[in-house]
Chain A
């Protein structure tokens, strides 16, 4: 949903975002004034220890969580002022998700799972399944279309999840720990697929991770600590790189 963003090449602009959980004396501040820009065509990784606020930040950027304060502009859309219905539509049209635990529907086949975003968008079932089959074919899963998730390996399930995230051609891809449930080989293959297929000039990709093996796939790495972005390091990153 493009808008009249001043910096037209910036897909994500976050300014002074804070997020509190809880109320009164039990309040926990997960984000403490985060500023971040992600241009189109970039794969940005959010790195940092557990509890540093990576998932909270990516949830806000994906439009699944409200910030307590600050400005969030994604693909030209102000996510702070947008209505909840508008946010649902924004996610449906513009955001693809790859989750740590895949979150595939266990009773749907691989191709049916990959077709879900199109079904949500109101596509006829047959057309949605055909489109999903094409994407799965690109990801090397053409021979596993009728398989149920429990018949697939972890790496294959993640490829189905990537197909599901890309099938409706979103302009923002949000990946939460996409390799943490995979072995090294499958993690590498997953990141290669994301880098080859998802990273496009009109699309931005954010990957939350603390898996150092995948850092070389990033264009930039933003390292977080205690609810803040400490540093943003530009690539390329050698194997074994530690963002600090």
Chain B
């Protein structure tokens, strides 16, 4: 009888497309907005992700997220190194600087200072120049998106210069880097160079990057660092989630996106539910006839739910497909953040399931109470 239900549904093209439209509308809006939200959240932690190598980040206990820099004294590096279980520890500078370009314009930039000796945290996507070139005087490696932002339409060229804090900076490499939440250009340089580029401050050490000795759990080392130094030590994943939690709790981003997702859900439910209900009412005599011919309420229930599921699967597929297509286009053509992890697909699937369930329930009540004797009435 599922086959009969399917033919009843798709045979009424206008109603069928109306119901599918409602589900697609909701699925597109939910998947697209949730993906943009995830994209934004992923931007907030892109700099943590890009720093490969260290498993432990050490910082001031009051740091709430990766851009919330509360500089440490340089001596903290040695205290961290002295904690049992720490394999190695290096300084890491992160700050904002104002660059003066040869054209006379100014540009805010994110300065990342890598340990002079090891370059721990160096970018992995260098496609022009090399990380070893950072040893040259005034050398910086710039991210490609930042380069294009400063010099739009111009080809990548090494040797370009600009000024930061009245010091010359020379581009010795171009790298791919994940976009940041602030969307400023990123320059990588030696720690000692970064401190010189930065506005003068009494304390300049942003983070200590460390790793645990082989066989020692990173969480255990973090606990020891906290005990011995009073600093906040987090594993990479913990710092990542601390940053995301900050944005979730302290910014209006989740509410804004949540409202849009909720709106999509409600409008989708209303369209799909109402159209499905009208479809059922239109076919109520047919359902009555089926009941008169011996179809049980269980069979009718299965038919209506089957129709709902069919619409849900089609609507979900189209909706998620359209949202993915949107993401594919905007990623290539704009700077809109878009990241669709499997959790977004699962969330959309749950939402679509609820929509078709609600839409079906409205209709189910109608068909279950209809008496088979209705078919004898003119």
Contacts and interface: CB of A to CB of B under 8 A. Distances in A.
A164 B286 CA distance: 14
Contacts, number: 83
Interface stretch (A54-62, A184-192, A221-229): A54-62
Nearest to B283: A105
Given A59-B376, A103-B375, A93 B289 contact: no
Interface centre among B7, B293, B375, B377 (most CB of A within 10 A): B293
Given A88-B296, A103-B285, A64 B372 contact: yes
B294 A93 contact: yes
Interface residues of B, number: 27
B8 interface: yes
A120 B292 contact: no
Interface string A58-84: 110010110000000000000000000
B11 interface: yes
B1 A99 contact: no
Given A55-B377, A176-B376, A91 B294 contact: yes
Contacts of A106: 11
Nearest to A121: B294
B316 to A, nearest CB: 23
A85 B291 CA distance: 11
B355 to A, nearest CB: 24
B90 to A, nearest CB: 70
B376 A55 contact: yes
A65 B371 contact: yes
A105 B293 contact: no
A145 interface: no
B293 A116 contact: yes
A62 B292 CA distance: 8
B373 interface: yes
Contacts of B290: 116, 120
Interface of B: 1, 3-4, 7-8, 10-12, 285-286, 288-296, 299, 371-373, 375-378
12 contacts: A59-B373, A65-B373, A95-B294, A97-B293, A107-B8, A107-B10, A119-B1, A120-B1, A120-B294, A120-B295, A121-B294, A177-B378
Q: Which 7 residue pairs of A and B lie closest in terms of their CB atoms, listed nearest first?
A: A107-B11, A92-B294, A103-B289, A64-B372, A64-B373, A59-B373, A91-B294
